[in-house]
Amino acid sequence: MKGRRFVVASDNHGDEFDPETAKALRDFLKDFKPEIRVHAGDNWDFRNLRKGASDDEKAHSLEDDWEAGTEWLRNYFDGAKEGYFLRGNHDERIWKFRDSATGLLRDYAADGIKRIERIVAQAKVKMLPYDSRHGVLRLGHLRVIHGFFAGMGAARRHSIAYGNCLFGHTHATDSAPVESIEGPAEARGIGCCCKIDMSYNQHLVGKLRHDNAFAYGLLFPDGTYQLFQAKKINGRFYAATEIKTL
């Protein structure tokens, strides 16, 4: 039974992307050639639009963030036969900004949303909102979400709510199964493609759990799947691009 190759990556955060992860993912896509490509959210950082953003964050160039995120999406989906972009909570900030701002700021946010819509249309990618019900992608028996829980128990809470799923958001490579009469359901955090150390997480102990990583695998016609994960270890990634059926 031949499977379709897929990849799921997340959380590059615009101009906060990690260069080593970017190169590893780019090389992996070239070798593995996945026909299904999923970006699980937070392609842009939009720290300037965060509620309670500091003066320093507001002073950062939004254009650098725009350009880095735009280039990432175009490169990531280049060559995909089937593509999906799940907006993350950071991406969603511009939609919220459009709905809460006034005057020129609202117009700027509206123009930014049109810009994103053009990018995904040109890449022939389906975009899903950051929504706990409508932002869920189904790949056979596997679900992909950006992520709606954080902290040490995030993986288990995601497995209870969504069953077999992959999620970003936490920047960690957690996994947790839940019991079921139909067999265990597992939620797996796929890590992140951004820098582990960023200006706004300096004081957060939770970043000590963060990993640069992405997930990939095979999706079979009956909906079953085989899942793998590539993670940075001592500055290098290890991935099996040739998968044998035994």
Angle between helices 62-77 and 103-122 (to 10 degrees): 20
At position 54, the amino acid (one-letter code) is S
Q: How high is the pLDDT of residue 12?
A: 98
Tokens of 77: 């989906």
Instruction: Report, as an integer, the average pLDDT of 239-243.
Output: 84
Establish if 231 belongs to a structural domain: yes
CATH code at 142?
3.60.21.10
Q: What percent of the chain has pLDDT over 90?
A: 72
60 occurs within a structural domain: yes
Q: Which tens digit of pLDDT belongs to each residue from 41-90? A: 999 999 877 665 555 555 566 889 999 999 999 999 999 999 999 999 99
How much is the pLDDT for 203? Answer: 72
Determine whether 152 is exposed, middle or buried from the number of CB atoms within 10 Å of its CB (0-12, 13-18, 19+).
exposed
Q: Is residue 64 part of a domain?
A: yes
Reported confidence tier of residue 39, pLDDT bands at 50, 70, 90: very high
pLDDT at 131: 98
C-alpha–C-alpha distance, residues 15 and 18, integer Å: 9
Three-state secondary structure call for residue 185: strand
Considering the domain boundaries, does residue 245 fall inside one? Answer: no
> Is 246 among the domain residues?
no
pTM (whole model) above 0.85: yes
Closest by CA to 87, choosing from 139, 132, 43, is 43
What one-character-per-residue DSSP string does 127-176 give? EE-S-TTTT-EEETTEEEE--S--STTHHHHHHHHHSSEEE-SS-B--EE
Q: Does 242 map to a domain?
A: no
Q: Render pLDDT for 23-36 as a digit per residue (tens, 0 to 9).
A: 999 999 999 999 99
Here the tokens at position 122 are 């040109």
Cα–Cα dist 33/27, whole Å:
10
> In the predicted model, what is the mean pLDDT of residues 4-17?
97
- Gap between the Cα atoms of 3 and 105, Å rounded: 47
pLDDT tens sequence across 165-183: 999 999 999 999 988 777 7
Q: What is the pLDDT of residue 24?
A: 97
More confident residue, 165 or 109: 165
Between CA 12 and CA 193, with CA 5 as vertex, the angle to 5 degrees is 10
> Residue 196: helix, strand or coil by DSSP?
coil
Taking only the tens place, the pLDDT of each residue in 180-235 is 777 788 999 999 999 998 877 777 777 778 999 999 999 999 999 999 999 999 99
| Distance of alpha carbon 144 from alpha carbon 88, whole angstroms | 12
Residue numbers of the domain that contains 232: 4-237
Q: How many domains does the chain have?
A: 1
C-alpha 184/C-alpha 163 separation (Å) is 9
Q: Which residues pair with 217 in a beta bridge?
A: 6, 227
Using pLDDT thresholds of 50, 70 and 90, give the confidence band for residue 1. Answer: confident
3-state DSSP assignment of residue 182: coil
Contact 122, 138 (CB under 8 A): no
Q: Does residue 105 lie in a domain region?
A: yes
> How do residues 118-171 score in pLDDT, each as one tens digit?
999 999 999 999 999 999 999 999 999 999 999 989 999 999 999 999 999 999
Q: Is residue 199 part of a domain?
A: yes
